[in-house]
Amino acid sequence: MSITTLDQVVAGSLPPFSFLKVASTFEAGSLLNSLAYRPGSPVAAVAPTPGLAGAALTTYGGQIPFSNPPAGENTYLAYLEVSCLIAGVLLLYDRLWHNSAIVVTTTTAQVINSVAWPPRDRNGSTNGEGVYVGIEVSTATSNAGAIANTTMSYTNSAGVPGRIGTLSFPATAAAQTFTPFLLDAGDTGVQSIQNVTLGTSYVAGVIHLVAYRNIARVGITVGNAQNARDAGCGLLPRLYDDSVPFLMWLCISVTAGNPTGIVQFTQG
């Protein structure tokens, strides 16, 4: 069944979850930052260790709490609120897969051959529609300058292999930096990853590839402000069974600000 009315949203609403992330100094303004490893509520996650092929996720310590609905019902995001001392944008995303063991000093292709995603793309399948990939930093890197020649070879959501994603990785990327790959022209998602090529040594640090689907975002334009989105303003994206919700923060400066807010799901 599907939720189609506000009355159904209210009737199926689960208890809200209040989050607070104690963020450190960010890499730079206008860059995404993973809040997975930051202390607070939920607790800090542990950096993943499944190896290059990675692990498909159905739960992971440090996520926003999530429970599957009764048989025949669906789960939706009903409410997302954020407040912070600095302006920025909070992103709620479903973490489908992540890996480890990327050698940051290797500049040639490193074979990934990712295990299959769980069936949680935009359409509830494993095809990868609406699934994107980024590099997440859990221990700061030491590259002196920005690196523009990092690439990823992947199969797109239509099943076409040999596609190439690109990114510009920032200098001395601080822990929690998250840099998404830009996909090949016309692509709308990633089905699997074949390899990653850093191109230039990151010198030191620990990085991971993360496959994710964006669920929703809410921003505040000035510090010491609060903003929210709910079903009344069109927010009602579906989350599929065994979702693993995490938070990212897009900041306008290096100041942390400690984002706090509320996430609430509804089922029906």
Judged against a pLDDT cut of 70, whether residue 139 lies above it is answered with: yes
Q: What is the pLDDT of residues 177-233, one digit of tens each?
A: 999 999 999 999 999 999 999 999 999 999 999 999 999 999 988 888 899 999 877
* Residue 199 φ/ψ, nearest 5 degrees: 85, -45
DSSP 184: P
Q: How far is it, in rounded angstroms, from Cα 108 to Cα 172? A: 20
Q: How far apart, in whole angstroms, are the C-alpha atoms of residue 7 and residue 29?
A: 40
Task: Domain ranges for the chain, please list them.
Answer: 22-263
> In angstroms, what is the C-alpha Rg of the chain?
18
* Confidence at 64, pLDDT banded by 50, 70, 90: very high
What gap in Å lies between CA 36 and CA 107, rounded to an integer?
A: 27
At residue 215, φ and ψ (nearest 5 deg) are: -100, -50
Cβ contacts of residue 54 below 8 Å, gap of 6+? 48, 97, 98, 99, 100, 112, 114, 115, 209, 211
For residue 233, the model assigns a pLDDT of: 79
For residue 27, what pLDDT is reported?
63
Q: Percentage of the chain with pLDDT > 70?
A: 97
Nearest C-alpha neighbor of 188 from the set 158, 214, 217, 216: 158
CA distance linking residue 18 with residue 261, whole number of Å: 6
* Residue 152 to residue 181: CA distance in whole angstroms: 8
Structure confidence by residue, pLDDT tens digits, 13-61: 999 999 999 977 666 657 899 999 999 999 999 999 999 999 999 999 9
The mean of the pLDDT values for the chain is 94
Query: DSSP string of 10-36?
Result: HHTBPPPEEEEE-----SSTT-EEE-T
Residue 26 is predicted with a pLDDT of 67
